[in-house]
Amino acid sequence: MVILDIKGLEHRYPGRDTIAFPDFNVSSGERVLLVGPSGAGKSTLLNLITGVLPVQTGSICLLAQSYRGALRKGLDRLRADHMGVIFQTLNLIPYLSAEANAGLGVRFSKTRQKHIVNLESEIARLGQTLGLSATHLQAKAKDLSIGQQQRVAVIRALLGTPELIIADEPTSALDPQSTDAFIDELFTSLDTTTQGVLMVSHDPSLRERFDRVIELEATPT
Amino acid sequence: MMTLALASLRARALPVILVIVALTASLVLLLSIDRIQKATENGFTQSISGVDLIIGPRSGGIELVLYTGFHLGRPTNNITMQTVEAVSKRPEIDWLVPIALGDSHRGHRVIATTVDYFAHVRYAGDRPLAFAEGKPFADLNEVVLGARVAEKLGYTLGTELYLTHGSGQGLGKTHDDFTFTVTGILEPTGTPNDSAVFVGLDGYELIHLGWQSGSRVFSLDNLDLNQLPPDALTPKTVTAAYVGLKSKLGIFQLMRDLAAYPEEAISAVIPGVALAELWSIVGMVDRVFQFLSGMIIVIALIGLITMTLTGLDARTREMTILRAVGATPLHLASWVMLEALAIGVLSSLAALGVLTAVTALASEPLTEALGIIPEIAFLTSSEAITLSAVIFAGLLSSLWPAIMVYRRSLQQGLLD
């Protein structure tokens, strides 16, 4: 099943050149890597996919729902119900516990809440898969290491089984050994029958871990 | 969202506590001024009931009410008993109770009067003075105590005491040549009557027989009371008289008549009117305090806005995370407003707690100074309105940062 479908997508910031994106899609169970030099529009593309930036030209469809003409509230809902987002760093609210941070993933989505019978045990299950103990989950986010924080962000993104996991260079702050372990744990935690991954990374060693690599070209500004 | 807002407030405990303290302090200031003023006003107005007019020497109405009813200040002049008797015979008069002031007992004002005082003077609407123990004075050497005097000095029925010439503790000379015996103790009333010592006019006249110009000329020790002429113990002058009228319709005409009384310069005041006059003067000062307290609340609210605005940059990441998990700009704006609401509610609750303590502490000095026991409710409807208004103002003041958050979350991307 196609989760994300992008066709003829272009975006132009005021006073700058238009960024044109290649057509591509992400299907269930597929792991897609997005690469490109700085200024190629990776962040713009992710902001368009998450529905934060409005679609100007072309189309984005998530689970066959087009972003064109959708209200901002509707896009917020799509993001809450069907996307899990992992940032490069600073993924967590520092004063909340790891468990509370993870739980934020389903706070704004009734759809995702329906997929969970018991939130605490689901967080604990995912935590176990990702190597986080109960002590880690009870700790304040600010007291965890960067790697542990990234794992909590993965739990948050996966909780309630959203169809599309978007990760923006989640391994950039990790050493090569931790990067491998992190990617292993992320892919192990995925439900390959329903979920797809779209990840941005500069790390060439990751290419072979993905089903498909989409390259963005630098755009003159 | 409220859980998140509270967690966020806890994470910024110090500035949040400072804003809460500022808001609480300003609320306490505003409400305590209002509360003490109202409690005092109620205490004053409830102290003299059932008295239609107070007749005394020609002076200011407020002054006359204050020294007769509340034992504040001292009379500058007396009125003759002849005048009092003449007034009492007027057809409009239902009852008249003369009172003579001037002496004291261990700091408590002595009221020399007739037993009619206990029958006619009322308090808190229409509540009569009742005896907790004993009975009114019937003889020259009998004395009735207010509840507070008996409690404070540990006096009971049968206790013997002397009166002191003049007002004020430790001042004047003691009438130690004549002993009074306690025959009655009044129930507590929360009025200046609780702090008063009551004797009959004849007894009062007796202890002053040997006195001239504030000094004792001869002692009563060697005096045979049976040898006194029949009118020797009838007072020549009294301080004032409480008057009850058969009908209040003619009250203003009677006041005019008494003001023009040809034999003596006297005046009559309606206690309620004089007190209203007093409160209009006090009210002006009160309004100035209230204005200043209002300004302090505004400053505290500006502190709240400043704290929220200066914290916005530091919280950009939190907002991005919440947007990523599906929070709408409206959610984020409401988050900021919920924080302001929580601060407003916490400040109001803290203010109520402090206010209760402050008013309880102020109650004793008020009783000491004015003789009244203010009735203080935990939360009056006007206080509830003030607190709600401040909470609402806090919410309103958070609108600006909330709008900023709303706009910023629309403009800012999740991933950069």
CB-nearest to B413 from A52, A96, A108 is A52
Instruction: Confirm or reject contact between B2 and chain A (CB < 8 A).
Output: no
SS3 B245: strand
Angle at B344 between CA A98 and CA B290, to 5 degrees: 160
Interface probe, candidates B321, B335, B407, chain A, greatest A C-beta count within 10 A: B321
pLDDT at A3 (0 to 100): 92
Chain B: residue nearest A167 by CA?
B415
Which pair of structure tokens corresponds to residue B51? 């008295």
3-state DSSP call for residue B395?
Answer: helix
* Per-residue pLDDT reduced to its tens digit, B34-56: 777 777 777 777 777 889 999 99
| Coil/strand/helix, residue B399 | helix
- The pair of structure tokens assigned to B157 is 């029925």
Place of tokens 């110009």: B213
A136: left (phi over 0), alpha (psi -120 to 50) or beta: alpha
Q: What is the pLDDT of residue A101?
A: 92
- Specify whether the CB–CB gap between B200 and B170 falls below 8 A: no
A81 near B CB under 8 A: yes
The answer for residues whose C-beta is within 8 angstroms of residue B93's C-beta and 6 or more apart is B87, B243, B244, B245, B246
CA distances from B231 to B98, B220, B228 (A): 17, 17, 8
**Token pair of B103 as six digits:** 């002496």
| pLDDT by 10s per residue, chain A, length 221 | 899 999 999 999 888 888 899 999 999 999 999 998 888 888 889 989 988 888 999 999 999 999 988 888 888 889 899 999 888 877 789 899 999 999 988 888 999 999 888 999 999 988 888 888 899 999 999 999 888 898 899 899 989 889 999 998 888 877 787 788 888 888 888 877 788 999 998 888 888 889 999 988 766 54
Amino acid, single-letter form, for residue B164: T
A98 in reach of chain B (CB within 8 A) = no
B279 vs A83, higher pLDDT:
A83
User: Which among B154, B155, B149, B168 has a CA at the least distance from the CA of B107?
Assistant: B168
Burial-class residue A84 by CB neighbours within 10 Å (0-12, 13-18, 19+).
buried
In chain B, which residues have their Cβ closer than 8 Å to the Cβ of A70?
A: none
Q: Which long-range contacts (CB under 8 A, 24 or more apart) does B342-346 make?
A: B342/B2, B342/B5, B342/B6, B342/B9, B343/B9, B343/B16, B343/B19, B343/B20, B343/B23, B343/B304, B343/B394, B344/B23, B344/B390, B344/B391, B344/B392, B344/B393, B344/B394, B344/B395, B345/B391, B346/B20
- 8 Å CB contact of A43 and B410: no
Would you list the domain boundaries of chain B?
A: 2-44+279-415, 47-276
What letters, b where the CB count within 10 A reaches 16 and e where it falls short, cover A181-220?
bbbebbeebbeeeebbbbbbbebeebeebbeeebebeebe
Residues of A in contact with B415 (CB under 8 A): 43, 46-47, 50, 85, 87, 166, 168
CB-based contact B415 A81, cutoff 8 Å? no
The interface predicted TM-score (ipTM) is 0.83
Among residues A59, A4, A61, A58, which one has the least CA distance to residue A27? A4
Contact B49, B126 (CB under 8 A): yes
The answer to whether A71 faces chain B, any CB pair under 8 Å, is: no
SS3 A161: coil
| Residue whose pair of structure tokens reads 């261990």 in the numeric block | B106
What percent of chain B is modeled with pLDDT above 70? 92
Chain B within 8 Å of A76 (Cβ-Cβ)?
Answer: yes
Cβ <8 Å between A43 and B415: yes
CA distance A202 to chain B (A): 14
Nearest CA in chain A to B322: A104
Cα distance between residue B68 and residue B84, in whole Å: 15
Mean pLDDT of B115-123: 91
Residue in chain A lying closest to B408 (CA)? A52
pLDDT digits (tens, 9 = 90+) for B221-259: 777 777 777 777 888 899 999 999 999 888 999 999 999
What is the C-alpha separation between A23 and A7, in angstroms, rounded? 5
Q: Among A52, A100, A104, whose Cβ lies nearest the Cβ of B325?
A: A104
State how far Cα B335 lies from the chain centre: 44
Do B324 and A87 lie within an 8 Å CB cutoff? yes
Q: Which residue has the higher pLDDT, B264 or B168?
A: B264
Q: Which of A43, A44, A156 sits opposite B325 (nearest CB)?
A: A156
Enumerate the residues of chain B whose CB falls inside 8 A of the CB of residue A167: none
- Flag whether residue A168 sits within 8 Å of chain B, measured between CB atoms: yes
The angle at the Cα of B50, spanning B38 to B35, to the nearest 5 degrees, equals 5
Measured between beta carbons, the chain B residues lying within 8 angstroms of A93 are 318, 321
